[in-house]
Amino acid sequence: MSHTFRSLRSRAALTCALLVAPLIAGLSGCGGSPDPLSAKPYDAADQISFSGDGDDRKADPDKPLEVTAKGDDSRITDVTATDAAGRYVRGELADDGKHWRSTVPLAAGAHYTLKVSTEDSNGAPGRRTVDFTTSSARRLLKVTFGPKAGQYGVGQPVTAKLSRPVKDPKARAVIERALKVDSRPAVEGVWHWVDSRTLHYRPQEYWPAHATITVHSNLKGIRIGGGLYGGEAKSLRLTTGDRLEALTDSGTHQMTVKRNGVPIRTIPITTGMPGFDTRNGIKVVLAKESAVRMTGASIGLGAGSYDLMVHWAARVTKSGEYVHAAPWSTGSQGAANVSHGCTGMSTANAEWFFNTVRLGDIVQVVHSDGEDMAPFGNGYGDWNMAWADWRKGSAVAAGQPDATPADSARLRPQV
């Protein structure tokens, strides 16, 4: 029995040896010809060149970034270029692996890291990593946001003033995309080009009450076009208070002041007499002056027509329309229009109005025989422009579908 057992064990051992032998041979065969892809990448510095590959490591931001494989014994397999913030530069690699070219502009005065993978004629991998910067811009476009930081009414537009005129639509689109406005609560808005150096931003309707609005620019170093690059811009933070609206009805000679949609005071008023009719439309409080001198000469009348020191004056147009105290016309307030275009009221009501409103609050005039308030040039008449027309003034939103509710031709009076 023991002999038989030893024979079986010997045959089993022999069989195992025969099975293992081919495996060992196979492993020996694989080890004899190593995979070139598993090798450590060699330094490919001598096999590639790129634009800006000089002693100063400077690239021209006005030109695409280009990477080229030297000679016939190597080709490029992959290229990644990132800026200091880790953002990738898009590009295209030629089918033969001999050339790569960026497809988006580089920023001026910026730092980049370039990583290039290659392979030689035997398939061995190579690698080159290099840091470089782009030349500083020679012509900068600076942006100044307005108004000043602070709290405003819900009718206050955001403004952007450019240091140079920009007329090219493509350049305008670059600028517009880089000027960011965010609000909490969130509301969609659009930039509108007032002229070649001025943009205004507003939502379709007013800002939400008690909102926080932040404005900043991503233009720094960005190529705008024609050798022009974006410069520094100081960010801006605004807040809004209650939604305060003053509806001035020249027909009934009454002003109704609402806070968040609820009437809080009705004031007898007088507005512009025939020939000096108050402008219809939506205006925004521009300034508050506790005392201002008003003369007939300022509106084209004779120098001696009138010369008054007026108190509790809230300005709503650049041309000189105010809501102010008019104690000389209390007999007409609530009954007739006798002013030279301003909205007059008693001293007590004017003081209350002055202390209640803030810059950016809304003053809307209806049922006057005057002309309509212009959207621009005489204060903030932005809200008098239909939303569809406002969007046409954008280099980005024009022709694009609107994500906000359907357009209304004009904001309706708050009656």
Q: Which residues are catalytic?
A: 324, 342
8 A C-beta contact, residue 338 and residue 357: no
Give me the phi and psi of 343, to 5 degrees please.
-100, 115
The Cα–Cα gap between 280 and 18 comes to 104
Task: Judge contact between 196 and 165, C-beta under 8 A.
Answer: yes
Report CA torsion sign: 116, 117, 121, 122.
positive
- The single residue listed with the structure tokens 């517009």 is 176
For tokens 């490029």, the residue is 76
Cα–Cα distance for residue pair 59/36, rounded to 1 Å: 34
| Cis-peptide into 327, omega within 30 deg | no
How far apart (Å, rounded) are the C-alpha atoms in residues 265 and 342? 19
Token couple for 77: 């397999």
* Nearest to 214, CA basis, from 184, 178, 247: 184
Tokens at 14, concatenated: 């022999």
Query: What is d(CA 81, CA 116) in angstroms, rounded to the nearest whole number?
Result: 9
